Structure 1
Amino acid sequence: MVEEHTPALSETLDSAMGLALSRANHASSSTLKRGPSPSFEGLEEDVRRKRFKDDVELDMALTVADAPRFDNQCLAEDLAQELQCGCCAELVYRPVVVSPCQHFFCGSCCVLWIRNGGTNCPACRGASSYVTPSRPLQSIVDLLLRTDPSRTRTERERIQADEVYKAGSSMRIPTPREASPEPNLNQNADYAQPCPHCAAGNPYGWRCPQPIVDFSVDPELAWHLDDGAPPGHAYCGNCENLLALRAPVTSKCDFCQVSFCGIGVQGRCIAAPLAAQHPHNMSDVGDLIQSAEVYECFDSNIVEVEIMLDYLSTQQLNPKHIYREVVSHIQSLNNNFKPLFDQDLFVDIHSVAGGVDENPEAPRSRICRLCASEVLLWGLRGWWIRERQKGFLDEAIANRPDCPDGRSCTRQKDLGHTKECA
Structure 2
Amino acid sequence: MAATLPSMAGLGVENVETAKLDSDSPSQIEQEEMEVNLHIEGSGKRGLKRRASPSWGEGSSDSLSRKRLKDEHVGQEESTDSSASGLTDTMNRRTLIDDLAQELECGCCAALVYNPVTIIPCQHSFCGSCCVLWIKNGGTSCPSCRGLSTSVIPSRALQSMVNVLLRADPSRIRTPSERAQADEIYRPGQSLRIPPPREPSPEPTLPRNTDYAQPCPHCIPGNPFGWSCPSPIPDPETNQDQGWLLEDGAPPGHGFCGHCENLVALRAPSTSRCDFCQVSFCGIGIPERCYASSLRSQHLNGFSDLGDLIQAADTYECFEGNAVEVDILFDYLTEHRVTPKQIYQEIVQHIQNTPEQFTPLFDQELFTDIHGVAGGIDPNPTAPRQKICRWCATEVFLWGIRDWWIRERRKGRVSTAILDKPDCTSGKSCRNQKDPDHARECTLPSLVPWMTLY
Relative to the length of structure 1, the TM-score reads 0.71
* Range with bigger deviation, 262-271 or 174-183: 174-183
The structure 1 residue matched to 2:403, chosen from 382, 407, 411, is 382
Matches within 5 A, 1:2-401: 72-81=96-105, 83-85=106-108, 94-98=116-120, 128=148, 130-133=150-153, 135=155, 150=172, 152=174, 154-162=178-186, 167=189, 169=191, 171=193, 173-174=195-196, 176-177=198-199, 187-401=208-422
Which amino acid is the alignment partner of residue 73 of structure 1?
I
Shift of 1:388: 0.8
Give the Cα–Cα distance (whole angstroms) in 1 for the partners of residues 439 and 203 of structure 2. 57
Secondary structure, counterpart of 2:400 in structure 1? helix
* Range with bigger deviation, 356-365 or 240-249: 240-249
Q: Is the 8 A contact 1:84 1:91 kept in 2?
A: no
Shift of 1:390: 1.7
The structure 2 residue matched to 1:417, chosen from 430, 434, 438, is 438
Secondary structure, counterpart of 1:75 in structure 2? helix
Q: Is the 8 A contact 1:94 1:167 kept in 2?
A: no
Cα deviations by residue, 1:334-377 (Å, 9 ceiling, x for unpaired): 11111111221111121210011101111111111111111112
Give the Cα–Cα distance (whole angstroms) in 1 for the partners of residues 229 and 159 of structure 2. 55
Secondary structure, counterpart of 2:241 in structure 1? coil
Counterpart of 1:22 in structure 2 is none
Shift of 1:146: 6.0
Which amino acid is the alignment partner of residue 117 of structure 2?
P
Q: Is the 8 A contact 1:234 1:259 kept in 2?
A: yes
Identify unmatched segments of 5+ residues in structure 2: 1-86, 444-454
Pick 1 or 2: higher relative contact order, CA cutoff 8 A, min separation 6: 1
Cα 1:190–1:109 shift into 2, 3 Å: farther
Q: Is the 8 A contact 1:95 1:107 kept in 2?
A: yes
Cα 1:301–1:110 shift into 2, 3 Å: closer
Question: Matched residues, percent identical?
Answer: 52
Identify unmatched segments of 5+ residues in structure 1: 1-26, 33-68
Shift of 1:409: 3.1
Shift of 1:332: 0.7
Q: Is the 8 A contact 2:153 2:191 kept in 1?
A: yes
Counterpart of 2:78 in structure 1 is none
Which amino acid is the alignment partner of residue 96 of structure 2?
N
Cα deviations by residue, 1:303-338 (Å, 9 ceiling, x for unpaired): 222222222222222221211111111011111111
Secondary structure, counterpart of 1:275 in structure 2? coil
Secondary structure, counterpart of 1:234 in structure 2? strand
* Range with bigger deviation, 319-328 or 295-304: 295-304
Secondary structure, counterpart of 2:102 in structure 1? helix
- Aligned-residue CA RMSD in angstroms? 3.6
Q: Is the 8 A contact 1:237 1:259 kept in 2?
A: yes
Counterpart of 2:32 in structure 1 is none
Larger Rg: 2
Give the Cα–Cα distance (whole angstroms) in 2 for the partners of residues 147 and 198 of structure 1. 72
Secondary structure, counterpart of 1:320 in structure 2? helix
Cα 1:173–1:292 shift into 2, 3 Å: closer
Q: Is the 8 A contact 1:70 1:144 kept in 2?
A: no
Give the Cα–Cα distance (whole angstroms) in 2 for the partners of residues 122 and 218 of structure 1. 52
Secondary structure, counterpart of 1:95 in structure 2? strand
Counterpart of 1:41 in structure 2 is none
Cα deviations by residue, 1:245-276 (Å, 9 ceiling, x for unpaired): 12222111111101112222342222111111
Cα 1:356–1:143 shift into 2, 3 Å: farther
Q: Is the 8 A contact 2:329 2:405 kept in 1?
A: yes
Secondary structure, counterpart of 1:230 in structure 2? coil
Relative to the length of structure 2, the TM-score reads 0.66
Q: Is the 8 A contact 1:107 1:167 kept in 2?
A: no
Cα 1:122–1:179 shift into 2, 3 Å: farther
